[in-house]
Amino acid sequence: MATLDAVTFREPEQFYRVAKALPGTSGSLLLQTCNRVEVYLNADEGKDVGGNLLSHWALETHFKLSHLNRIVDVRKEEEVVDHLVRLSAGLESMLVGETQILGQIKSTLAAARANGAADQLLSDVFDRAIAAGSRIREQTGIGRGAVSLGSAAVQLAETFLGTPSGWRVLVVGTGQAAMLTVKS
């Protein structure tokens, strides 16, 4: 988690300014959640857009470029589409079927559009991945039951501790994860 926090863009608007300025890039999206930082680019083939982006990423986050190069997973073309559909469907989450990611992907697309960064191709790919993920969830039942880590934690606690009305104190964590657990 320390590495994830270290490579997180603190100012997404700055990422969009940098991405727009990269030669050969016509669109970009930045997806940041509690367990991922993903950058999507529509770039001209043959340009070293990835290398330029990684250099800016390292500067922005004060993360060593050599280390960033080792941990980044690069996907292209159909691999990107496949990953996005799996992500939208909840198959790439820590808890299979987790529902938050679909909303986060929608928010990512909205933010990229608001920053003038989502070109037509990336908009279409994200719109279709969202639609496919929604349909997969609907038709397969992925996400029924525990749909977030918070609700899974509550279900597990109930197994061992009984109903929440009998609990005095349960400290689960901090931040967004704790808030979602308390809601569950």
> What's the pLDDT tens digit per position in 50-106?
788 888 888 888 888 888 888 888 888 899 999 999 999 988 877 677 778 888 999
State the average pLDDT for the chain: 83
Catalytic residue, from 4, 6, 34, 132: name it. Answer: 34
114 residue type, one letter: A
* Position 112 pLDDT exceeds 70: yes
Active site residue 3: no
**Which residues make up the CATH 3.30.460.30 domain(s) of the chain?**
2-140
pLDDT for 130-179, tens place per residue? Answer: 999 999 988 887 767 645 666 667 777 788 878 877 777 566 565 666 66
Q: Which residue from 2, 3, 21, 25 is spatially nearest to 121, judged by alpha carbons?
A: 25
Task: Decide: 129 and 90 in contact? Cβ < 8 Å.
Answer: no
CATH fit for domain 2-140, picks 3.40.630.10, 3.50.50.60, 3.40.50.2300, 3.30.460.30: 3.30.460.30
- pLDDT for 159: 81
Report which residue type is found at 72.
V
Q: What pLDDT is attached to residue 82?
A: 95
Contacts 24+ apart (CB under 8 A), 11-17: 12/111, 12/115, 13/115, 14/60, 15/39, 15/60, 16/112, 16/115, 16/116, 16/117
For the whole model, what pTM was predicted? 0.77
Segment 122-132 mean pLDDT:
96
The answer to whether the CB of 88 falls within 8 A of the CB of 101 is yes
Q: Would you state the pLDDT for residue 26?
A: 92
Buried b (16+ CB within 10 A) or exposed e, 101-130: bbebbeebbebbeebebbbeebbebbeebb
pLDDT interval class at 1 (50, 70, 90): low
Contact 83, 132 (CB under 8 A): no
- Work out whether the CA dihedral 119, 124, 127, 130 comes out positive or negative: negative
pLDDT at 130: 95
